[in-house]
Structure 1
Amino acid sequence: MKKQSVQFVKSAILSTVLSAALFMTAQASDKASKEAAAKVDVKYTGNQDDQISFSVKFNNPEGKNFTLLVLDEYGESLFKRNYNDVKFEKKFKLPKDEVSRLTFLIQRGKEVYRERFDVNVTSQSLEQVVVSKS
């Protein structure tokens, strides 16, 4: 009976240690994905003169080389350039009639950060008529 009790206690301790290790691993990967999301910030900043504009910010504290790509809806490259800035910021202006989906990619080694935007342009014309009785 004593051997069974010792065996039970050993297996209970082992299962507790394994459960704690799995929980800590899940927390670490969640933290890593939040950190990756915080490094890249792509925002639509408005339109003017038939062009839409976007702002791309990327925190690169190690100063490693990275590639910034902007792709159209067909996966064709509209822009591609390598950088190594620690605090990177770039603004893009594109003709609003020529794009319907944009993908911003930042590749740094094996890491890939992706932001995708669907661009729907609607134009409205407003005609105002004022009639007054004379």
Structure 2
Amino acid sequence: MKKQSRYSVKTILHSKFGITALVLIIMTQAVTAQTRAVAVVEPLAGTATVKHIGNPAGSIVFQVQYDNPSGDKFTLIIKDNDDAVLFQDMYTGKKFDKKFQLPQGQADKLKFIIRGTRNNHLQTFEVNTNTRVIEEIVVKRVS
């Protein structure tokens, strides 16, 4: 007659194979839990962009665009490097597109802050406004 063997859970866990299998099962569960947590995250309500347009006559011009699909009120604040408010106003609308002309040399850094009043949505942009002038002189022998 053949001898039947029984393996208990304790015997399997004490073997190298059992420990490896247990570690793999635990790691699989951890990865699955992380994947589920990432899938729950929702995208931001609106997206904003701040672009440098140019420097006409001693000033700096920036274009601020904000997609606000819900059309809720939002506040736009522009601050300098000392956190002094240079501009603040409240807007509504689904598509915001506005240009701001600021004096050049007034601040080295500017902050553009867009804050939703209803959903507490916040986007902040920091702009470094340092200006460098490169002077190049070339001496060329003609004859």
Q: How does the TM-score come out when normalised to structure 1?
A: 0.72
Paired residue for 2:38? 26
The 1-side partners of 2:80 and 2:105 are apart by 12
Q: 2:103 aligns with which of 95, 99, 115?
A: 95
Q: Identify which range, 116-125 or 94-103, moves more after superposition.
A: 116-125
Q: 1:66 aligns with which of 62, 65, 74?
A: 74
What are the ranges of 5 or more consecutive residues in structure 2 without an aligned counterpart?
1-5, 11-23
Letter in 2 for 1:118: N
User: Are 1:118 and 2:118 counterparts?
Assistant: no
SS for the counterpart of 1:48 is coil
The 2-side partners of 1:128 and 1:23 are apart by 61
Larger radius of gyration: 2
Paired residue for 2:15? none
User: Are 1:78 and 2:86 counterparts?
Assistant: yes
* Deviation beyond 6 Å, 4+ runs, structure 1: 12-15, 126-130
The 1-side partners of 2:71 and 2:26 are apart by 43
Query: Which structure has greater strand proportion?
Result: 1
User: Are 1:39 and 2:51 counterparts?
Assistant: no
Cα deviation, residue 128, structure 1: 8.7
Pairwise CA RMSD: 3.6
Q: Identify which range, 116-125 or 77-86, moves more after superposition.
A: 116-125
Q: How does the TM-score come out when normalised to structure 2?
A: 0.68
SS for the counterpart of 1:98 is coil
Between the two proteins, the alignment pairs up a number of residues equal to: 123
Cα deviation, residue 24, structure 1: 2.9
Deviations 1:88-134 (A, max 9, x none): 0110111112121000000013211000011112245678999x99x
Paired residue for 1:49? 57
